[in-house]
Amino acid sequence: MSDFRSFLNPVRFFRDLRRRDHKHVLGALDIFKYIGPGLLVTVGFTDPGNWAANIASGSEYGYTLLWIVTLSTIMLILLQHNVAHLGIATGYCLSEATSIYTRPAISRTVLSLAVLASIATSLAEILGGAIALEMLFKVPVKIGSMLVTIFVLIMLFTNSYRKIEKWIIAFVSIIGLSFLYEIFLVDVDWAEAGISWIKPSIPRGSMLLLMSVLGAVVMPHNLFLHSEIIQSRRWNLEEDSIIKKQLKFEFADTLLSMLIGWAINSAMIILAAATFFVNKTEVNELQQAKSLLEPLLGTNAAVVFAIALLFSGIASTITSAMAGGSIVSGMVKEPYNIKDNHTRTGVIISLIGALIAIFFTKDPFRGLILSQVFLSIQLPFTVFAQVYLTSSKKVMRKYANTGFMTVLLLIIASIVTFLNLRLLYDIIFN
């Protein structure tokens, strides 16, 4: 994975992108045509589950847990680039490759858990959109959940992927600008925030929130999604020079998109720390966050918060449902195709399964937090399967991971596994 080494030297990386080979190389400006798949992944980790985890973290522990956003984003850059590498080099998404190249018992286990992760994700996304509708229009959460689900089904079943991608990019822009606006309204201790971004600290009793932040950023369904949608940019899988250029453009898209996600997630914690933590106010629900923001920052800030949450809920519900469709179609070794019954089945399972769970969820905010914890528990299964596939020369041929990249990915998988064991210990003994 020479692209990761280039990441350590940005000047060299972008210089390489500008080099011309008149027969095959895309022009430097064509990189902007390639931006998109990474932003769909960004939506997945700036979703309502992230909002709940980040705002709870910031209100209870101030800036202290910012480091887990940084660590999670670094992990995410590596994992997402690696899984996109799989899609570009093989033409298969992660679900298809798992079905084709692993034993049935393994593939069924990994992919079944991935479907459950997609449902858990959709639960958080739908709930977030419904909570926003309640904030803005006083719509009951359960009715709002049905409205969000119906809207997303219409969007997915009637629009092409490229149209949806444009909508998603617009939604990400609105979310980012909303938090930029609100950050300018608060008094931030940037020195403390800067230290917290890079200094690991696990305050007593924070493990559940720490794991929910990790699960909310490094989301397993996004690994399946990215390996699928990256193929929308496929030009020619027969020529090595084209594949290599695709990998470079993909890395630029992934790096840019993940950094945007890091900034948005950090802004959530900073906003909560600078408003709620300094006033010793613990936030237990997103509705409460809006009502508390109003006297502190004014009516406009509270409304902007709710509008951003609505767009976040809708956009991320679309991507989680797409991931569900990709996983289920991959189980039968087929690519995502919304006109195909297998894909549609996956989309419906993800959305309707989540909707049913919402009707049995008494505490929506707690449901958001726990959904993120489930994602972090499922994540090692997906990551270890990914590392196995992308390190296999049988699967990737000459594009298989280098030993350096394999070690990095295994370290990430080990860190995630350790944190999960620590979480289970805290739940059992504390």
Please give the CATH number for the structural domain made up of 2-429.
Answer: 1.20.1740.10
CA distance 265 to 128: 15
Question: Is the CA virtual torsion 42, 43, 48, 49 positive or negative?
Answer: negative
Q: pLDDT confidence of 46, banded at 50, 70, 90?
A: confident
Q: pLDDT confidence of 211, banded at 50, 70, 90?
A: confident
Q: pLDDT confidence of 14, banded at 50, 70, 90?
A: very low
CA distance 381 to 199: 28
Q: Quick one: tokens of 120?
A: 């858990």
Predicted local distance difference test score (pLDDT) of residue 230: 87
- Which residues are CB-neighbours of 415 under 8 A, at least 6 positions away? 71, 75
Q: pLDDT confidence of 210, banded at 50, 70, 90?
A: confident
- Which residues are CB-neighbours of 81 under 8 A, at least 6 positions away? 1, 3, 4, 250, 251, 254, 255
Question: Is the CA virtual torsion 39, 40, 42, 48 positive or negative?
Answer: positive
Highest mean pLDDT among 307-321, 368-382, 384-398: 384-398
Per-residue buried b or exposed e for 315-332, using 16+ beta carbons within 10 Å of the residue's own CB: bbbbbbbbbbbbbbbbbe
CA distance 107 to 99: 5
Residue 30 has pLDDT above 80, yes or no: no
A 10 A CB-CB count for 400 gives: 18
CA distance 251 to 278: 39
Position of tokens 């976040």? 312
Mean of per-residue pLDDT scores for the chain: 84
Torsion of CA 241, 247, 249, 251, to 10 degrees: -160
Residue 1 has pLDDT above 60, yes or no: no
Are 113 and 95 spatial neighbours (Cβ–Cβ below 8 Å)? no
Are 273 and 291 spatial neighbours (Cβ–Cβ below 8 Å)? no
- Which residues are CB-neighbours of 328 under 8 A, at least 6 positions away? 95, 115, 342, 343, 345, 346, 349
pTM here is 0.84
Q: Quick one: tokens of 417?
A: 């596994």
Residue 19 has pLDDT above 70, yes or no: no
Question: Is the CA virtual torsion 217, 101, 332, 160 positive or negative?
Answer: positive
Which residue blocks in 138-239 are alpha helix, DSSP H? 141-158, 161-183, 190-198, 207-217, 220-229
Question: Is the CA virtual torsion 8, 11, 14, 18 positive or negative?
Answer: negative
